[in-house]
Amino acid sequence: MTSRKRYASSIDVAKLAGVSQSAVSRTYRQGTSVSEETRRKVLEAATALDYRPSMIPRIMLTHRSYLVAVVVGGLYNPFYATVLEIFSARLQDAGYQVLLMHTDSGHTLDDIIPRLSSYRVDAIVSALAVMSGAAAQDLARLKIPVVLFNAALANKWVSSVSSDNLGAGRAVAAHLVERGAKRFGFIAGPANSSASKVRFAGFRGQLAENQTAPVAFAEGDYRYEGGRAAALAIFAAAHPPDALFCANDLMAIGAMDALRTDLGLRVPEDVLVAGFDDIPAAAWAAYGLTTVVQDASRMVDQTIALLRARMAQHDAPGGVRTIVPATLVVRGSTRR
């Protein structure tokens, strides 16, 4: 007993329509000619057989899959969930399909590169950093465009699109100084997060120009729980800060809850708090968080423009670093 085929093939359609297999292929291929009568027969047979043309022959023939791998590892952060939604919609509008890949390492791309090489994707987009030189070389060997989103690296095949993390860090520092803060703390993302490092560099650099005291520092892993624990650690010191900048909003919200609930401090009367990302919760009445807005829509557009330009020029020169302006939004958490 033979089992029924799961999918109808172009050969099945050709037989039912009484045309050649090449006529079926031409019917579904853009830029080729086929008579209206042949097209009608093919489409009627395809409907009867529930036939859908396979992408595999086109991939083999053109070496283009029109698949873009989007590698994620931190969707607990609402900012990146929003970015993923925008990417998916705009890539599809541009004629590409998204291949979503997840890595357990929420902050680096290194671990998933061997798996990426198994898929015939046309490009890779990721918000994860590339930490090792060997991983960067592996990406280059794939010979497809790679765009890192808010992560720093550029070589012949790898480009990056980032917010102005340095300028934003400086803007937050200047704002806190202007609001009268004297002692400062910073809650960072993981040690391997390039975005967090640059935000801290801008923050610390601006404070140095104002000749302030050293900045209290703790890591919070970009998570609410991490921000809460980091705030408790910083404020256990004899002379804790009166202003706190967190590398993302989730940590800032965790820090605010720790200050209010665990330490009995008031925000902003006792401690000024600022974050980064402008996730929806930042504007909630319970937090009113001063934060930095990343222009996600513009960053996605810049990323897709880079991908399309690179895919159109297989040997395009050098990696590109694009920096998108960010905006400080002042809310109640820094309004003394």
Residue 130 belongs to domain spanning: 63-162+296-324
Residue 215 covered by a domain: yes
Q: Are 195 and 266 part of one and the same domain?
A: yes
Average pLDDT over residues 168-190: 96
Give the whole-number percent of the chain exceeding pLDDT 70. 85
Q: Are 170 and 290 part of one and the same domain?
A: yes
Domain end residue (candidates: 37, 54, 71): 54
Q: Are 85 and 196 part of one and the same domain?
A: no
Check residue 107 and give its pLDDT. 58
Q: Are 179 and 276 part of one and the same domain?
A: yes
CATH number at residue 127: 3.40.50.2300
Average pLDDT over residues 140-156: 74
Is residue 3 scored above 70 in pLDDT?
no
Is 326 or 43 the better-scoring residue by pLDDT?
Answer: 326
Is residue 6 scored above 70 in pLDDT?
no
Q: Are 275 and 169 part of one and the same domain?
A: yes
Residue 242 covered by a domain: yes
CATH number at residue 18: 1.10.260.40
Is 136 or 291 the better-scoring residue by pLDDT?
Answer: 291
- 44 Cβ contact partners less than 8 Å away, ≥ 6 residues apart: 17
Check residue 316 and give its pLDDT. 52
Residue 1 covered by a domain: no
Residue 5 covered by a domain: no
Residue 2 covered by a domain: no
Beta-sheet pairing, 272-274 with 243-246: parallel
Under the banding of pLDDT at 50, 70 and 90, the label for residue 105 is: low
Average pLDDT over residues 108-125: 75
Is 105 or 20 the better-scoring residue by pLDDT?
Answer: 20
Residue 157 covered by a domain: yes
187, 218 Cβ separation under 8 angstroms = yes
How many domains, the chain?
3
Q: Are 210 and 271 part of one and the same domain?
A: yes
Is residue 58 scored above 60 in pLDDT?
no
Q: Are 31 and 77 part of one and the same domain?
A: no
Q: Are 304 and 155 part of one and the same domain?
A: yes
The token duo for 38 is: 């042949």
Residue 40 covered by a domain: yes
Q: Are 201 and 216 part of one and the same domain?
A: yes
Check residue 4 and give its pLDDT. 54
Instruction: Quote the CA–CA distance of 294 and 279 in Å, as a whole number.
Output: 10
Prediction pTM value = 0.78
Q: Are 191 and 274 part of one and the same domain?
A: yes
Average pLDDT over residues 173-194: 93
Q: Are 215 and 251 part of one and the same domain?
A: yes
Is residue 317 scored above 70 in pLDDT?
no
The token duo for 52 is: 């859908």
Q: Are 184 and 228 part of one and the same domain?
A: yes
Residue 303 covered by a domain: yes
Is residue 50 scored above 50 in pLDDT?
yes
Check residue 152 and give its pLDDT. 66
pLDDT tens digit sequence for 219-255? 998 999 999 999 999 999 989 999 999 999 999 999 9
pLDDT tens digit sequence for 263-306? 999 999 999 999 999 999 999 999 999 999 999 899 989 888 88
